Structure formats: structure tokens, C-alpha cells
A = this chain, B = another copy of it.
């Protein structure tokens, strides 16, 4: 399950993508429109700002703006930023690899092999799906499952 925070982040980015590209949107407006607790959303937007996804303007007529085109912001990027690695096992993460504490041999790990397939699938889907895709309802990836 993805966290509530990640859902909020994605919804906020979608809201920003749907707003006028030059007019800053108020935190409060996003919070009201998307039903997100105001103060919680502040933190989230700040995180997104620190990672370069959005920018902000202070003072009157301030607010938030998308810093990159919605076609270039992927779900994978947002999820990693908020929830951490996508991989189901630490030893399968491309972006935050580390050995499982009690693992004797990665090559021989029976469960690792199975989860490697899961990791590939989620990575592929989430790193291809963009905010723009989400808004348009267009799916970036078609997945075909074959029996071995």
C-alpha cells in the first residue's frame, strides 16, 4: 500500500498541472479542492520543492507552480521521493540498494528471484506513467503476461 502522503503528493501535482501554468496556486486552494489537511500539504509541497518538482512564490499573489512539464514527472519519481524505494526487497532497489541484513547469498536467494519480477514490473509501470498520462487517462505501458 502506498502512503496517504504519497497520494496527497500525486493529487497535488495533478492539481498544479491542471492549473494555469503561470498563475501560482495557493496551498489552501489545493487543500480545499483535494481535501488534504492544509498543514500536512505544506510539508509535502515543501518536499516537492526541495526536490525540484515545483517552485513557490511568497507573499501576496504567492503560491505554487509546477517547475517541470507534467509529461516529465513520473509516478515513480514522486513515490520514491515520498515513500522511499519502490522495490519489495532492499536488495532489489536500483536507487537505494542495500543487502538484506540476514542474507547469506543473493545469487542463491529463492525469494529474491520471484520478487525481482515484481520489482521490474512496478518499476516499469511507475517510471513510465507521468502526471500528464494520469490526467489524460492514457496508459503509457501495456503489459502482457506469458506462461513460462
Q: Residues of A at under 8 Å CB distance from B? A: 1-2, 7, 10-11, 14, 35, 75, 84-85, 87-90, 100, 102, 104, 110-111, 113-115, 117-118, 120-122, 124-126, 128-129, 133-135, 137-148
Q: How many copies does the complex hold?
A: 2
Complex contact B143–A10 (CB within 8 A): no
Complex contact B139–A113 (CB within 8 A): yes
Q: In whole angstroms, how far apart are the Cα atoms of A113 and B138 in the complex?
A: 9
Complex contact B146–A144 (CB within 8 A): yes
Give every chain B residue within 8 A of A114 (Cβ-Cβ).
75, 125-126, 129, 133-134, 139
A21 CB to closest chain B CB, in angstroms? 18
